A and B are shown apart, each in its own frame.
Chain A
Amino acid sequence: MRSPSDTSLSIVFTGSGGAGVMTAGQILLDAATNCGLYGFMTRSTGPQIRGGEAAAMIRLSSKPVQSPGDRFDILLALDFENLQRFADELPLDSASLIIADPAAGEMPGFLKNSAAAVGLVPMSKLAKGVKGGRIAMVGLGILARLIGLPETAIVAAVAASIGRKKPEALAASEAAVLLGANAAPDVAIPKLPLPGKPKEGRWSITGNEATGFGALKAGVKFVAGYPITPATEILEWMAHALPQCGGVLLQAEDELASINMIMGASYGGAPSLTATAGPGLSLMIESLGLAVASEIPLVVVDVMRSGPSTGIATKSEQSDLNIAVYGLHGDAPHIVTAPLSVGDCLLTAQWSVHLAETFQTPVIMLSDQSLGHARVVIDRPEEIVFQTKRLAPEAPIAGYERYAQTDSGISAMAIPGFPGGQYTADGLTHNARGTPSSQAKDHVGQLDKRQRKLNASDFAAHWAEIDGDGELAVLTWGSTSEPLREAVAVARAAGIKVKLIALRLIAPVQPTLLAAALAGVKRILVIEQNHTGQFWRYLRAYYDLPAEVISIHCPGPLPIRPGEAFAHIQRGARA
């Protein structure tokens, strides 16, 4: 049912075979944006590369929103082809409205059983009545009327999308949109207030784009990568953006090449990054160890997908925490970060590059498909500048020691071209000079150095987002943070005092900071999206946790919704 505190509307637009559902979803989002609404959009598709069944899920609100909701207010189905595929992703109830075309035939079972109201509109017939009319445009008109968006906003968005190329197509679309609007059933759907175009700028951006942009802001100059779903868009976006910032992108022959290329570029002084998914990260593991041992800064963005192995490439999961934290052979401490929302991919990417350069170590950034592929309309993020400096020798030092023991553990890193700074980077255990050594004191000494450098307190500013207070806390990381933020808000509105702790820094562990965050907390709900409770077990291994810890873990492919999280919080608040 619709929660009274819900200020959003969730719409899903489905269709197949060239109907253009995804483009239509984008147009709806654009139109809503121009009316001053915030939005969140995800998509689901079948396995076909073209013509497959598709669903565009759009959530609109007058307040910022970066999470899927609990249910859909409206489902508009252009046809029913293979719609069953999305049954688990389309929660509907008696307060929902299904718009369907009587020509589409029999409604699939899950829709019939949903108790949703049904409005039949002969959309294909209406579309055929306009020369060049498309059924998706009729559908958009219906939706616009239902939710209270002016048709002009839709038409303007259509024009921005196709108008330049084909003025006749625009005229046809306009006519189809109007036909649809006038055919919309007269049903009471909560209307969203339309704030009007905001004074300050808004951004429409995907998690993958935000990741790329954050990396550029932090000064990345070299990217090498290999295509893999759902990370490829980071590489494709950076391919055109990086040269505009004086950088270079190479498409590598595989992930083994990618990680080594960026390591080479970084050794040469260029802040470097690659982007991949679980299977690619697995391939990079050996070389990540080399980056740890030879103290070379680099960032690997892992846009996590359902695993293990090839898994479900187009669905999200938080199941690469283990390999990110534990995957390297030997004792190889490094940094692992995780963005907390689509918009937060910008800050987290920027911060990850900053950390890599500061600590001269690899950073694995655990984004995921639910962030990477989602599009949000958000307030322009505040500009954050990290004074990033890779420690370098200022003047040639006689007897330069690349891996000198310092208090901080961070030693000056000469880059080729700097006279007197010559050293050989090595994965072999080495002494302070960098010469291979099998001496116990060098092995232990360098292990201590690399551990010591990560024991810094520099993580405090961004290691987590902490909100609220209470004896009950929800502890999570990465992409589950936004649905949990909403769940916590609902809980508070229901009188439950609950604290939210969302970790942006997974490794190195921050026991002092977490202990402070958990002061006064008697029960913790650890919530994550994987099958084995990876985050929970990691916490148990490295942290002292107060009295009662309840682990709630569920793998993909379905998103975690605020409502189910709220139910966990309610249960956690009782007894």
Chain B
Amino acid sequence: MTAATQSNEPPKLDNIAEFFAQALAIEVEATERYNLLADQMEVHNNREIAAIFRKMAMIEGEHRNEIARRAGDALVAGRPASFSWIGPDGPEAIDCDDVHYLMTPHRALMLARFNEERAVRYFEAIAAAATDPQIAAFAAEMAAEERDHVVWVDQWLEQIAPDEPGWDEDPDPPVHSE
């Protein structure tokens, strides 16, 4: 997992609108990322993992809707002035480099779990550093919700067999496509 290339520092948030913009962006990015990875898996005929990533995308999508609902009037006219489309990478989005065309359900869920945990720590850090009590409260709520996600992934993991050795072996060599 390339945590090294992803910023661990939560951004400086001056008001509640910025907090919600940030929280929303994280969920949107996580949703898009899971869908992107599901697409990749589909193109590479790994239907099982594609289905797992689609499910995760759906969960994140629901979370996103929930945040938007809660944000309500706090998010006026889209985004606050300081919002940046560039990033850093959201703590919940899986790194594109960490997937493999033959990846197993176990690996996929471990990946999801890792990123949900990062989201927990991220919001806990915001809650701890926030001077605005409203932000602190919302951040703590978000952290709790992400912790629920971790539990939920853990329950899913219990039903999944661990990796067999040789899971990434492909007898066929790479082929030309062009």
Any A–B CB pair closer than 8 Å: yes
Size band of the interface chain B makes with A: 10 to 19
* Cβ contact of A79, chosen from B45, B169, B170, cutoff 8 A: B45
Report A-chain residues with C-beta under 8 Å of the C-beta of B44.
17, 48, 50-52
Docked CA distance A24–B172 (Å) = 9
Contacts known (A17-B101, A229-B176, A314-B176); A134 close to B171, Cβ less than 8 A: yes
Supposing A18-B102, A18-B170 touch, asked if A229 and B45 sit within 8 A by C-beta, the answer is no
Are the C-beta atoms of B175 and A18 separated by less than 8 Å? no
The chain B residue sitting closest to A82, CB to CB, is B45
Distance of A232 Cα from B178 Cα, bound (Å): 11
Interface flag for B43 (CB, 8 Å): yes
Q: Determine how close the nearest CB of chain B comes to the CB of A311; give it in whole angstroms.
A: 10
Is A23 a contact of B175 with CB atoms below 8 Å? no
- Given A24-B171, A136-B171, are A52 and B176 neighbors across the interface (CB < 8 Å)? no
A47 touching B172 in the complex, CB below 8 Å, given contacts A17-B44, A17-B46? no
Total count of chain A residues near the partner, CB < 8 A: 32
Considering only CB atoms, which chain B residue lies closest to A230 in the complex?
A: B176
Do A313 and B178 touch (CB < 8 A)?
yes
| A19-B44 Cα distance, complex, nearest whole Å | 12
- Cα-based distance from A132 to B169 in the complex (angstroms): 11
Cβ-based interface call for A476 (8 A): no
- 11 intermolecular pairs with C-beta atoms under 8 Å apart: A22-B172, A45-B177, A47-B177, A48-B43, A49-B177, A50-B44, A50-B170, A51-B44, A51-B45, A54-B175, A230-B176
With contacts A17-B46, A81-B47, A132-B166 taken as known, whether A52 is within 8 angstroms of B175 at the C-beta atoms is yes
Q: Once bound together, how far apart are the Cα atoms of A106 and B178, in whole Å?
A: 31
Residues of B within 8 A of A310 (CB): 178
Residue in A21, A79, A134, A313 whose CB lies within 8 Å of B177: A313
Q: Which residues of A contact B166 (CB under 8 A)?
A: 132
Q: CB of B72 within 8 A of chain A?
A: no
Whether A17 pairs with B45 at a CB distance below 8 angstroms is: yes
Q: What is the CA–CA distance of A229 and B45 in the complex, to the nearest angstrom?
A: 24
Report if A20 contacts B (CB, 8 A): yes
Q: A49-B177, A50-B174, A81-B45 known; 20 other A-B pairs, CB under 8 Å?
A: A16-B45, A17-B101, A17-B102, A22-B173, A22-B175, A47-B177, A47-B178, A48-B43, A48-B175, A48-B177, A49-B175, A49-B176, A50-B175, A51-B46, A51-B170, A52-B45, A54-B172, A79-B45, A132-B166, A310-B178
CB pair B101–A45 under 8 Å, yes or no, is no
Cβ of B98 to closest chain A Cβ, rounded Å: 16
In the bound assembly, the distance between CA atoms of A560 and B178 in angstroms comes to: 22
Which residues does B use to contact A, with CB under 8 Å? 43-47, 101-102, 164, 166, 169-178
Complex CA gap A23/B175 in Å reads 12
Q: Which of A17, A47, A53, A162 has the most CB of B within 10 A?
A: A17
List CB contacts (< 8 Å) of A103-138 with chain B: 132, 134, 136
Most chain A beta-carbon neighbours within 10 Å: one of B102, B173, B174, B177: B177
How far is B174's CA from A45's CA once the two chains are assembled, in angstroms?
Answer: 10
A residues apposed to B, CB below 8 Å? 16-24, 45-54, 79, 81-82, 132, 134, 136, 162, 229-230, 232, 310, 313-314
- Docked complex Cα distance between A49 and B170 (Å): 12
Residues of B within 8 A of A17 (CB): 44-46, 101-102
| B residues near A51, Cβ cutoff 8 Å | 44-46, 101-102, 170
Inter-chain CA distance A132–B102, complex, in Å, is: 15
Chain B residues, CB < 8 A from A82: 45
**Whole-angstrom distance between the alpha carbons of A48 and B41 in the complex?**
11
How far, in whole Å, are A313 and B169 apart by their CA atoms in the complex?
Answer: 27
Rounded to whole angstroms, the CA-CA distance of A5 and B177 in the bound complex is 37
CA distance A52 to B169 in the complex (A): 14
Q: Which residue of A lies closest to B166 (CB)?
A: A132
**B14 CB, min distance to chain A CBs, angstroms:** 46
B170: chain A residues at CB < 8 Å are 18, 20, 50-51
Nearest residue (CB) in B for A162 is: B171
CB <8 Å contact, A45 and B175: yes
B177 proximity list for chain A (CB < 8 A): 45-49, 313-314
Q: Are A18 and B169 in contact (CB under 8 A)?
A: yes
Check B176–A18 contact: CB distance below 8 A.
Answer: no
- A510 to B22 Cα, complex, angstroms: 77
> What chain B residues lie within 8 Å of A314 (beta carbons)?
176-178
- Nearest CB to that of A314 among chain B residues? B176
Distance of A17 Cα from B43 Cα, bound (Å): 10
* Nearest Cβ on chain A to B101's Cβ, whole angstroms: 4
Contact of A313 among B101, B102, B176 (CB under 8 A): B176
Instruction: Indicate if the CB atoms of A49 and B171 lie closer than 8 Å.
Output: no
